[in-house]
């Protein structure tokens, strides 16, 4: 699936600024509709290291009312969290109706990093595909929309971005030894991503792959997808 993605897609800076502003204004208007219709919105960002998740989240939230959304940056589970089912720590972050929750990485860590780094057993991460699908179905059958985004870049582009970060004193904090270690396992992660896309993309909760080689294109496409999915859910609520 990933090999078929056209990473050459791009837009120029002038078009980017125009479309980004339009999408941010539309998102602000939708934020009011989300509240009025008591819709819960969950946006999941997954992607390669340095694929632009943080930049896309920043442009997504720039024009929003800060009272109506929350960003959750997901790292490794704590010692206490490891004593519970892995989904427990995410259930408590599900937003109330009328608000937006944005996840910078998510429960998909179970079938990505936990699989590749062997933090979960084979039976655990194999079982997780169905558990995650059920988890998301519980939400969409209620008053929630779950929007899942995979930001995709090439291995060559990732190397370029890693090197740029190392050379920039203001960005060196963004690159760690763990990033380089993960990069050395690119093929294993790629296989895990392919399985994730295949086994957890359903008609109700499909994955959206965002071509991330051109950051301008990726940010605009991300906002477009989120707008479309929210509008679709609002129409469904009107019909119910």
pLDDT for residue 238 is more than 90: no
Q: What rounded mean pLDDT belongs to the chain?
A: 96
| Residues near 55 by beta carbon (within 8 Å), at least 6 away in sequence | 215, 219
Task: Give the model confidence (pLDDT) of 38-76 as tens digits.
Answer: 999 999 999 999 999 999 999 999 999 999 999 999 999
Q: Specify whether the CB–CB gap between 45 and 105 falls below 8 A.
A: yes
Task: Answer yes or no: pTM beyond 0.75.
Answer: yes
Q: What does the alpha-carbon distance between residue 89 and residue 1 come to, in Å, rounded to a whole number? A: 30
- Distances from the Cα of 80 to the Cα of 40, 76, 83, 84, 111, angstroms: 28, 11, 5, 8, 21
Q: Distance between CA atoms of 93 and 77, rounded to whole angstroms?
A: 14
Burial of 152 from C-beta contacts in 10 A (0-12 / 13-18 / 19+): buried
- Please check the confidence at residue 240 and state whether its pLDDT lies above 60: no
Q: Is 107 left (phi over 0), alpha (psi -120 to 50) or beta?
A: alpha
Judge: domain 2-239, CATH 3.40.50.300. Answer: yes
Band of the pLDDT at 77, cuts 50, 70, 90?
A: very high
Packed helices 53-61 and 215-239: angle between N→C axes, nearest 10 degrees: 50
Phi-psi region of 214 (alpha: psi -120 to 50; beta: other; left: phi over 0): beta
Q: How far is CA 161 from the centre of its chain?
A: 19
Three-state SS for 51-62 is CCHHHHHHHHHC
Q: What is the pLDDT of residue 237?
A: 84
- Cβ pair 147, 43 in contact under 8 A: yes
């Amino acid at each position: 699936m990933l090999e078929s993605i056209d990473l050459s897609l791009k837009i120029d800076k002038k078009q980017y600024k125009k479309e980004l502003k339009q999408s941010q204004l539309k998102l602000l208007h939708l934020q009011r509709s989300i509240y009025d219709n008591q819709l819960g919105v969950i946006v999941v960002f997954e992607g390669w290291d340095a694929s632009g998740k943080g930049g896309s989240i920043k442009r997504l939230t720039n024009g929003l009312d800060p009272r109506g959304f929350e960003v959750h940056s997901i790292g490794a589970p704590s010692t206490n969290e490891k004593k519970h089912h892995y989904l427990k720590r995410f259930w408590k972050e599900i937003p109330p109706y009328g608000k937006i929750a944005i996840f910078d990485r998510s429960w998909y860590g179970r079938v990505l990093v936990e699989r590749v780094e062997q933090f979960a057993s084979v039976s655990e991460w194999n079982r997780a595909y169905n558990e995650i699908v059920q988890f998301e179905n519980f939400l969409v059958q209620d008053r929630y929309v779950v929007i899942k985004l995979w930001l995709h870049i090439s291995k060559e582009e990732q190397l370029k971005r890693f090197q740029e970060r190392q050379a920039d004193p203001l960005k060196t904090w963004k690159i760690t030894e763990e990033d380089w270690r993960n990069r050395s396992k690119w093929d294993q992660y790629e296989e895990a991503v392919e399985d994730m896309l295949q086994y957890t993309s359903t008609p109700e909760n499909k994955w959206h792959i965002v071509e991330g080689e051109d950051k301008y294109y990726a940010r605009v496409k991300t906002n477009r997808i989120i707008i479309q999915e929210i509008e679709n859910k609002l129409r469904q609520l009107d019909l119910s």
